[in-house]
Amino acid sequence: MEITSNELKEKIKNGNKVLIDFYGTFCGPCKVMKPMFEKASQTLKENGSSVELYTFNIDNDRDYIAELGLRSVPTIKGFSNGQEKFSEVGLKQTNVILEMADRLN
């Protein structure tokens, strides 16, 4: 479920529908949201969705985080057809994460 910056760049370039949870290990709300994000990912897989969900530790590539304009965590970004479609900051419940995935379809 964890993705690297190179893998993410490749998926964006290929036009994949991806929802990324950018998190920090120091972040309390990030820890709370992680199981909800994982549950949303499992639900989408079970339903045969084309949207892929990944997590990205911001400490792994600070330069790429700056390039994306990320200022706080948790942040969920949605990408489709090679473009960023939306970016939302803050703790999100499973149902909201699923709604965000639907916006990429």
Helix residue ranges, H only, the chain: 5-13, 28-46, 62-68, 94-102
> Given 5, 16, 24, 27, which residue is catalytic?
27
Q: Distance (Å, rounded) from C-alpha 20 to C-alpha 12? A: 11
2 is catalytic: no
> Given 8, 19, 30, 101, which residue is catalytic?
30
- The Cα-based distances of 93 to 22, 30, 32, 48, 77 in angstroms read 15, 11, 10, 21, 15
- The Cα-based distances of 61 to 5, 20, 24 in angstroms read 7, 14, 12
8 is catalytic: no
Active site members: 27, 30
